[in-house]
Structure 1
């Protein structure tokens, strides 16, 4: 079966994974986890060593100490089950990005579980501080494409497949995940983010996509540059989707939905009502509480085997929505993805204890500044916050000072000990993800207990 037919088969199979009760969904996860953990521990030396080090049996996988992206990269060669070396993966992925040719693949080593099979490779953009490499096998790529098609094409799915689907991707790197399922009915156009904005706007208009996928900051810039398109859906990826961006994109292009995806996998997808649900039919989530209704996910991918993810801690901050969704899915609903964990700022409080300032507080404050088109807030030291503004005018500085200090005070931060510095917001390097709130200083944060809501 070729890639395109396999993707459609997986898309059809995805319709059977719509669980309406938590009990049914969790029973499904238990069945997948039992086989997945057994297989991965038998083929991944790194995962087997984690169980031995913790003194745990395979059935106790939920008690396994979590691993991080930095640890994953450090033990990459022993983690992956295709026998590939990180040096070779990085060399190919970086060459692809330099040459803008993403057709290259690696072959699984002769003694590995995926001997001789083509493996797709790629890199994350490293916005969380550690650049991650990813590996995807043939069947994983086909399943990924099918799941994405099922969730991103507007309903009803079966009749929609009878009409041509034109997907336009605005991405830093193209990767074989998209190209592999191209067919007569499904076409993919990769619009390279390194091209000048006017060229991208013209190319987008010419592509006339039925499905438009890209970072919201890029899509909005193309809209402002005169791009014209009427897709059935706009899919926001790679960045936090701000309310002002959503409103502008819906007015200019059409309905907007989100996808939550990272080096670690396909983590959340929109339902038929446009709400974002965790991809719990394929990924198990444990959640660590961060306070104020915010959670940090620890994932176990129940399908992925070339680069297994067993109890892998992410750097993202999630807010969940407990309201039942009209789609009837039992998968937990994501209210908001706030960005990376290191985007939470840490300042001294009035009592001297550290106070966490969540990105939402600063975004809400700066969104109230009149005439401010764009900004970035960067904590560069324990008591220093840079506000980079566009436009950088005396009036925007004054208004930003008032709003930011008020927001910081509401969080309990000692504003008398916080020094605000200002400067103009310069254009980000081409292909860089936007981060409106970031922390460049290395500040300690206390450990948090783990629970599952």
Structure 2
């Protein structure tokens, strides 16, 4: 009961943080940062060392040199404030992955209520571990539910059946379920036909999962008409969104990672940065592309304590949008372009190297009629392996033609294309349609 009341208070309090004035939002961030950074600098030895090495005071946190996932993992034991070791986190998380029992938590001598632990998918080359305290779990659940229930606050009075299709079942919601709010988890490692039948029988009012998995369930005959479909864990592409909207219902996107809950849908269904809780800076990663600027986020989570994220550089690349018609002052994401590691590094017509972002490759191959699925992987300095489903001569010709058009537009030189049938990925693996290489 206490947990449910805590989540409800968080949901109601979130309304006050949906600010429409940018200056008010930044003042709110400053207030959070002043208290949070002081606490973290006292309880996280590695964070304190970062400030000392840089010769900066806590008040100068915006100038702190950023770190990435590899530095975070290398210094995990002294970065976290929960008094736990990385080896213990990895052992518990891997045991949960193997047994499919995600209920055990890790004891913390400093943070009450037990720690939820987990692993990222490791798609960027470095697998990350995450810690979430009980207080953070309840806050996270409240924020997510406030933004995802489509008819707020009337949905609080209706029975909600929430289906999560996930690789690893988190314990975020178990303690906050009630007669009006039921959560059901479907393990993506189970056969698709079983999941499709179970989803149909459950009749969710809210359905969340990776778009590739949700589309597979749709193709397997799943019948459900939720009020809202929530895309998580993968880049949501236009073709997948259209198929899911037609088969299930309205689709929105949530952007989250090991590093935190990064962006949520607004009342108009657009994806906004979670700036009421996280401060974002951006680096321009490649000058000016054909339209807009490709940006890599550097985030400072202003509430997360168990595993502080202070001036943490993400591998993802974003394209921001203009202001939203909803009126919220938090910035809007036009597209999650992909991970920087997924960018192709190809020769230009002048002989130099040029970065080709996954967004361009996806746009080209999405124009191929009747192409159901694909994977484009860089396998050499000037060579790509293109896997197609279905694999047919006409589709190969169309794919080569569309790629040639976009490569000519970008100034890419000669690139060898090797076509073949699509090899299925491992069960539960995150879909990556474009894979870069170290060339």
Match of 1:438 in 2: 435
Match of 2:284 in 1: 289
Which of the numbers 264, 269, 276 marks the counterpart of 1:269?
A: 264
Residue 215 of structure 2 aligns to a residue whose secondary structure is helix
Which of the numbers 128, 141, 164 marks the counterpart of 1:145?
A: 141
Match of 2:126 in 1: 130
Match of 2:401 in 1: 402
Residue 335 of structure 2 aligns to a residue whose secondary structure is strand
Which range is displaced more, 286-295 or 241-250?
286-295
Q: Which structure 2 residues correspond to residues 216-365 of structure 1 after superposition, within 5 A?
A: 216-290=211-285, 291=287, 292=289, 293-322=293-322, 324-365=323-364
Match of 2:419 in 1: 422
Match of 2:24 in 1: 24
**Where does the alignment leave 5 or more consecutive residues of structure 1 unmatched?**
444-453
Q: What is the CA–CA distance in structure 1 between the aligned matches of 2:113 and 2:154, rounded to whole Å?
A: 34
Q: Check whether the contact 1:282–1:303 (CA below 8 A) recurs between aligned residues.
A: yes
Q: What is the CA–CA distance in structure 2 between the aligned matches of 1:209 and 1:117, rounded to whole Å?
A: 30
Q: What is the CA–CA distance in structure 1 between the aligned matches of 2:154 and 2:405, rounded to whole Å?
A: 52
Q: Check whether the contact 1:239–1:339 (CA below 8 A) recurs between aligned residues.
A: no
Q: 1:381-425 CA distances to partner (integer Å, 9 max, x unpaired)?
A: 2111110111112221122112112211211111x2x11112210
Residue 235 of structure 1 aligns to a residue whose secondary structure is strand
Match of 1:73 in 2: 73
Q: Deviation of residue 141 (structure 1)?
A: 0.5
Establish whether residue 377 from structure 1 lines up as the match of residue 372 from structure 2: no
Q: What is the CA–CA distance in structure 2 between the aligned matches of 1:282 and 1:132, rounded to whole Å?
A: 21
Q: What is the CA–CA distance in structure 2 between the aligned matches of 1:85 and 1:101, rounded to whole Å?
A: 21
Match of 1:393 in 2: 392
Q: Check whether the contact 1:77–1:85 (CA below 8 A) recurs between aligned residues.
A: yes
TM-score by length of 2: 0.97
Residue 429 of structure 1 aligns to a residue whose secondary structure is coil
Q: What is the CA–CA distance in structure 1 between the aligned matches of 2:258 and 2:402, rounded to whole Å?
A: 35
**Where does the alignment leave 5 or more consecutive residues of structure 2 unmatched?**
none
Q: Check whether the contact 2:338–2:359 (CA below 8 A) recurs between aligned residues.
A: no
Which range is displaced more, 236-245 or 338-347?
338-347
TM-score by length of 1: 0.94
Q: 1:115-151 CA distances to partner (integer Å, 9 max, x unpaired)?
A: x541111111111111111100111110000000100
Q: What is the CA–CA distance in structure 1 between the aligned matches of 2:176 and 2:317, rounded to whole Å?
A: 32
CA-atom RMSD in angstroms: 1.1
Q: Deviation of residue 326 (structure 1)?
A: 2.6
Q: Deviation of residue 158 (structure 1)?
A: 2.1
Q: What is the CA–CA distance in structure 2 between the aligned matches of 1:2 and 1:98, rounded to whole Å?
A: 32
Q: 1:235-271 CA distances to partner (integer Å, 9 max, x unpaired)?
A: 0000111101111111111100000000000000001
Q: 1:164-210 CA distances to partner (integer Å, 9 max, x unpaired)?
A: 11110000001111323212211110000001110010011111111
Q: What is the CA–CA distance in structure 1 between the aligned matches of 2:394 and 2:155, rounded to whole Å?
A: 51
Which range is displaced more, 267-276 or 180-189?
180-189
